[in-house]
Amino acid sequence: MARRYYVCPVVTELQADGSTYVYAKVAHYVGQIKGYVAHIPSDPSTGLPLRNWALVCVEADDHSLLLADAAFEALPWKDALDDALTLPQAAKDKLAARGIDLSGITTMRQLVRAIGQRLHASFDERAFGVSS
Amino acid sequence: MALLAQDTFTVGVDTVLESHTPDIGTGWSVETAAKLTCDAAGDYCYANQANNTRHWGREGTSIGADAMDVTVDILVNNVNNNRFCGPAGRMTTANWGNQYNAEAQGGGIGGNVQLTYFLFKAVSSVRTQLGSWADTSTNNGASTHTVKLEIRTAAKKVFVDGIERISSADDSLAGNHYAGLTGQRLEAQMDNFKSESVNDPLPSKILESSLLQLNRMSEAAVGA
């Protein structure tokens, strides 16, 4: 079992009963992965997602389906959050385009925190995970 | 930790949830009347409908704080994923469109029921799936499991049989202090509901306490 982090689209669906249902696109792969958690902060007045993308943490034996899905931006694979990180320029460009401040980031933990806090300032990576 | 409500759903005859008195607590409100039933033969609560409509129940005791633990034993021995049930927290008495909930959902194939657990939030009636965890052990749906929804300011966690499975950093719905349950279809059974209040010290309070302790140690050292 391996854990990886991704940035993926948030889907907002109008249901037949008139209600609105929101999920990260990784939910399409439930049944093929062990589990996931998505950070999708909501507008407190409307309940709608604040952004159209989410940070997700996925546990799976095999990540090839997600890695093959062009809608997913995989973050570099690391054994541990505190491992040193060198981001490829292409990944830097994509994250910067989302308004994520990458200055001074040297570990996976700092990157995950920066992405999560771009979604909502209170994000804490220590409270964000799923069991294998 | 203080136990504020508890219900074993023990009844002499089948009783709709809103007419049933919990072992400890105030009583139940339901979103739609007569859709959740306490079963006399099995002493459990279930949605008494054979259609795909989710039903909500809310226990009337205020937790008195945002932090809470809500626990329900579940049995979903069914391969269809439209059978599910579980605990809910940070509910409000004002409506049914704001809460966190955890649920166990049926799945697998005949003879090997394998449950998937989910964490959801609903804000202003917009429902958001926050995470899932699949139990891939053989035929785990055939036995009862304890699902706990642990709600703190910093994290919303789903525990299955005492083990943390999903942890979300989401924090919405502060000020909603009620707990309850949700279920869909006959085959999703709930038992041993509990809602508990907990201490959730704010980081500033922890820091204040630590500084106070350091100050006392410093004063003691100077005094020595």
pLDDT in tens, A21-76: 999 999 999 999 999 999 999 999 999 999 999 999 999 999 999 999 999 999 99
Angle at A110 between CA A38 and CA A62, to 5 degrees: 50
Angle at B52 between CA B48 and CA B57, to 5 degrees: 50
Report if residue A123 sits inside a domain.
yes
Between residues B122 and B219, the one the model is more confident about:
B122
Give the chain A residue nearest B130 (alpha carbons).
Answer: A38
Domain extent at residue B180? 2-223
pLDDT of the residue at A77: 86
pLDDT of the residue at A115: 98
How many structural domains comprise chain A?
A: 1
Q: What is the pLDDT of residues B164-219, one digit of tens each?
A: 999 999 999 999 999 999 999 999 999 999 999 997 755 544 455 555 556 655 65
CB contact set of B215 (below 8 Å; sequence gap of 6+): none
Name the nearest CA neighbour of B113 among B85, B146, B87, B135.
B135
CA distance B179 to B99: 9
How many structural domains comprise chain B?
A: 1
Name the nearest CA neighbour of B172 among B66, B19, B60, B21.
B66
Q: Considering only A89-103, B1-15, B134-148, B207-221, which range has the smallest mean pLDDT?
A: B207-221
CA distance A6 to A92: 14
Kindly tell me if the per-residue pLDDT of B157 is higher than 60.
yes
Q: Is the ipTM above a cut-off of 0.90? A: yes
Residue A23 structure tokens:
């999920």
pTM for this predicted structure = 0.92
Indicate the pLDDT class of residue A78, thresholds 50, 70 and 90.
confident
Cβ separation of A124 and B169 shorter than 8 Å?
yes
The predicted model gives B146-164 an average pLDDT of: 98
Cβ separation of B131 and A38 shorter than 8 Å?
yes
CB contact set of A66 (below 8 Å; sequence gap of 6+): A4, A6, A26, A29, A33, A58, A60, A72, A74
Average pLDDT in chain B = 92
Average pLDDT in chain A = 96
Report if residue A132 sits inside a domain.
no
Report if residue A21 sits inside a domain.
yes
Give the chain A residue nearest B99 (alpha carbons).
Answer: A47
* CATH for B135: 2.60.120.560
Q: Which of A40, A41, A129 sits opposite B167 (nearest CB)?
A: A129
| Chain B nearest CA to A43, separation (Å) | 8
